[in-house]
Amino acid sequence: MLSKPLEEIFPDVPDDLDLSQLDLERIPQHVAVIMDGNGRWAKKRGSIRLAGHKAGIGAVREAIRTASDIGVRYLTLYSFSTENWNRPKAEVVGLMELFAKTMLAEVDELHKEGVRVMTIGDDSMLPDRTREAFAKAWEKTRDNTGMTLMVAVNYGGRQEIVQAVNRIIAEDAQRASAGDQALPVTAERISAHLDTAKVQAPDPDLVIRTSGELRVSNFLLWQIAYSEFYVTDVLWPDFDRYEFLRALLGFQGRDRRFGGVGKA
């Protein structure tokens, strides 16, 4: 059941969208977003890249509110990859400060709305202020029962799989030292050692990528095996609730097969 009327969530629907086509029984449980295009948005306006990142905060806020209101249970936002450290130092420093400021500014409202906030990825490399801001958000919201917001920060899909394998190796070594046999390595066992396992989140039903790029950029490589993809040319700072609605309608128009035979 929605927390507010659908017409209140989407009050000014563009003429080319039909809100009546949205099936509330088929809202994806888990939506993952590759937020791309901040730099190009800034360049088009003659601004520095960090200005685009700051503008993108509005789109982050819009996506969180819309996903929560429409009944999405898990929203994962790809905010900073393990490869993003290779960007210019000034941009990285600015991003880390922006993460901290935004998290501290938004956490009270997120808590009020029942959203649970957590991170996935290796936060050990983050500046203290950034890491502490995310930690405070987790502590404040950890018992909330609404939508879970997973912020992927210093995250890489390959790194996550490697870490999962190493955890399994260490686990089996511990079993061997106790005189027990190693357990079989299965897909389920690997999944249980991934970052997303700590909230028992289902694999993403829908992956959204903005700015028109056709790649996954090392994002949730294991988890998106059967996800549906929605790619839009819209740059991330311009991605609003109606673009989110377009993605939902696009998702609902798919025949999900999971390797089997489709309906048609």
Q: Which residues participate in catalysis according to the annotation? A: 36, 84
Enumerate residues 6+ apart whose C-beta is below 8 A from 104: 133, 136, 137
Name the DSSP class of 99. H
Tokens describing residue 200: 């028992």
Strands 116-120 and 148-155: parallel
Burial of 158 (0-12, 13-18, 19+ CB in 10 A): exposed
Element (H, E) at 151: strand 148-155
Q: What's the gap between Cα 258 and its chain centre?
A: 21
Distance CA 144, CA 126 (A): 25
Neighbours of 256 (CB within 10 A): 12
Max CA-CA distance within the chain? 68
